[in-house]
């Protein structure tokens, strides 16, 4: 099984008529994702390579039964797009767009929690989610992942996630679902949201967690793992050598006031029983070992 999405998930792409939206929307469809609609108020009634365009998400939901949305709208329009999706009846919203203002993120995260508690937001600034062989929403190259299981992946970093998928595939190890939660200060989906679902998913037998410096999400995950997780976990944290006070590409990846260091995160995870690798390859090898030892 997979978490959040599967082969029946119908997805509307907000921004399908733009260059990025079109490129990845069509790639996702080629992969097998049910890309059922796009939205653009000025282009309603047209289509993108056969995918119908609607004026609003509500119209797209009414016509196609879409339950998920993927947002490729430029940063200034993301807050409006997220609320339009929620109000239109979407339950799983993936925001790929990077550069969304933190004030906007904090606002729509809390607005959704209050008025649309059934909605699960993923991102902003994330690569998306892939359940190999079933559904790929976002910018992950689907062919680098082997379908099946038994590994579930949750990650704050895009390229490190691809690397993990690739290394597992080379070892002939499959993945149930790989969730890129993104590197922004207010991620809609957290490590804990994913760990909870992986723990409940019978086909996921082991979990790989990829974190990075900044914030306290990994420490919170470690606390959750210690009391709630029975499945084995391997982890890697990027940014051991990152200097304090400098943003490392991701808005969230910054060490401030001695908080959010890689060392503290690795220590917390190790104490919670997680197998922590010193580099991505080592974390991958640890996962291979875990999988080989599964009964």
Partner 1 sequence: MDLLEYQGKQFFARFGIPVSDGRAVDTVDDAVSAADAVGYPVVVKAQVHVGGRGKAGGVKLATNAAEAREHATNILGLDIKGHIVRTVWIEHASDIAEEYYASFTLDRGAKKHLGMLSAEGGVEIETVAVDNPEAIAKIWIDPVDGLTPEAARQWVLAAKLNPAATDGAVDILTKLYTAYVDGDADLCEINPLILTPDGRVHALDAKVTLDDNAEFRHAWGDYALTQVRDEREEAAHAKGLQYVGLDGSVGIIANGAGLAMSTLDVVNQAGGGAANFLDIGGGANADVMAGALEVINNDPLVKAIFINIFGGITRGEEVANGIVEALSRVTIDAPIVIRLDGTNAQEGRAILEPHLSDKLQSKPTMLEAARAAVELAGRK
Shortest spacing between CB 131 and partner 1, in angstroms = 17
Question: Which residues 93-152 are close enough to bind partner 1 by CB under 8 A?
Answer: 99-104, 106-107, 109-111, 114, 139-141, 143-144
CA pseudo-torsion sign 41, 46, 50, 54 = positive
Please tell me the distance from the alpha carbon of residue 36 to that of residue 189, in angstroms, as a whole number: 24
Shortest spacing between CB 121 and partner 1, in angstroms = 11
Tokens of 70: 């993927």
Residue 292: φ, ψ to 5°: -65, -30
Q: Say how many C-beta atoms besides its own lie within 10 A of residue 261's C-beta.
A: 17
Marked catalytic residue, from 134, 205, 231, 250: 250
CB 1 within 8 A of CB 176: yes
Shortest spacing between CB 199 and partner 1, in angstroms = 21
Q: Is 278 in the site for partner 1 (CB under 8 A)?
A: yes
Q: Is 35 in the site for partner 1 (CB under 8 A)?
A: no
Shortest spacing between CB 182 and partner 1, in angstroms = 11
Candidates 150, 152, 232, 280: give the one binding partner 1 (CB under 8 A).
Answer: 280
Cα torsion for 162, 165, 168, 174, to the nearest 10°? -170
Near partner 1 by CB under 8 A, which window of 33-41, 88-96, 199-207, 238-246? 238-246
Per-residue DSSP letter, 76: G
| Residue 285 backbone zone (phi > 0: left; psi -120 to 50: alpha; other: beta) | alpha
Q: Is 238 in the site for partner 1 (CB under 8 A)?
A: yes
Burial of 243 by CB count in 10 Å (0-12 exposed, 13-18 middle, 19+ buried)?
exposed
Shortest spacing between CB 44 and partner 1, in angstroms = 27
Q: Is 183 in the site for partner 1 (CB under 8 A)?
A: yes
DSSP alpha helices (H): ranges in the chain? 19-31, 57-64, 78-87, 102-115, 158-170, 191-200, 217-228, 262-271, 280-292
Q: Is 178 in the site for partner 1 (CB under 8 A)?
A: no
Q: Could you write out the three-class secondary structure of 94-153?
A: EECCCCCCHHHHHHHHHHHHHHCCCCEEECCCCCEEEECCCEEEECCCHHHCCCCCEEEE
Near partner 1 by CB under 8 A, which window of 48-56, 146-154, 194-202, 241-249? 241-249
Please tell me the distance from the alpha carbon of residue 91 to that of residue 135, in angstroms, as a whole number: 16
Near partner 1 by CB under 8 A, which window of 83-91, 178-186, 198-206, 266-274? 178-186
CA distances for 290 relative to 24, 200, 220, 294, angstroms: 33, 19, 23, 6
Near partner 1 by CB under 8 A, which window of 33-41, 61-69, 216-224, 265-273? 216-224
Shortest spacing between CB 76 and partner 1, in angstroms = 6
Clarify whether 275 is annotated catalytic: no
How many residues sit close enough to partner 1 to count as binding (CB under 8 A)?
61
Q: Is 76 in the site for partner 1 (CB under 8 A)?
A: yes
Q: Is 250 in the site for partner 1 (CB under 8 A)?
A: yes
Show which residues are catalytic: 250
Residue ranges in contact with partner 1 by CB under 8 A:
27, 75-76, 99-104, 106-107, 109-111, 114, 139-141, 143-144, 155-163, 166, 183, 185-186, 210, 212-213, 215-217, 220, 236, 238-243, 246-253, 257, 262, 278-281
């Amino acid at each position: 099984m997979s978490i959040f999405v599967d082969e029946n998930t119908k997805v509307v792409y907000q921004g399908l008529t733009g260059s990025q939206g079109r490129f990845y929307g069509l790639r996702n469809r080629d992969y097998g994702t049910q890309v059922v609609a796009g939205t653009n108020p000025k282009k309603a009634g047209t289509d993108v390579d056969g995918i119908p365009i609607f004026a609003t998400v509500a119209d797209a939901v009414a016509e196609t039964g879409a339950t998920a949305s993927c947002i490729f709208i430029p940063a200034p329009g993301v807050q409006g797009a997220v609320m339009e999706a929620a109000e239109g009846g979407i339950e799983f919203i993936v925001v790929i767009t990077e550069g969304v203002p933190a004030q906007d993120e904090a606002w729509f995260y809390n607005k959704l929690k209050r008025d649309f508690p059934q909605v699960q937001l993923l991102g902003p600034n994330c690569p998306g989610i892939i359940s190999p062989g079933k559904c790929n929403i976002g910018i992950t190259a689907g062919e680098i992942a082997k379908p099946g299981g038994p590994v579930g992946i949750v990650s704050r970093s895009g390229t490190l996630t691809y690397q993990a998928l690739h290394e597992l595939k080379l070892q002939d190890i499959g993945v149930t679902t790989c969730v890129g939660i993104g590197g922004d200060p207010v991620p809609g989906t957290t490590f804990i949201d994913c760990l909870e679902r992986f723990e409940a998913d019978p086909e996921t037998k082991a979990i790989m967690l990829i974190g990075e410096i900044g914030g306290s999400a990994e420490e919170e995950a470690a606390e959750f793992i210690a009391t709630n997780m029975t499945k084995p976990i391997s982890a890697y944290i990027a940014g051991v050598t990152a200097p304090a006070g400098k943003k490392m590409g991701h808005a969230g990846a910054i060490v401030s006031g001695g908080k959010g260091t890689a060392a503290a995160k690795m220590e917390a995870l190790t104490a919670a029983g997680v197998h922590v690798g010193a580099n991505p390859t080592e974390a991958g090898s640890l996962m291979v070992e875990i999988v080989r030892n599964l009964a």
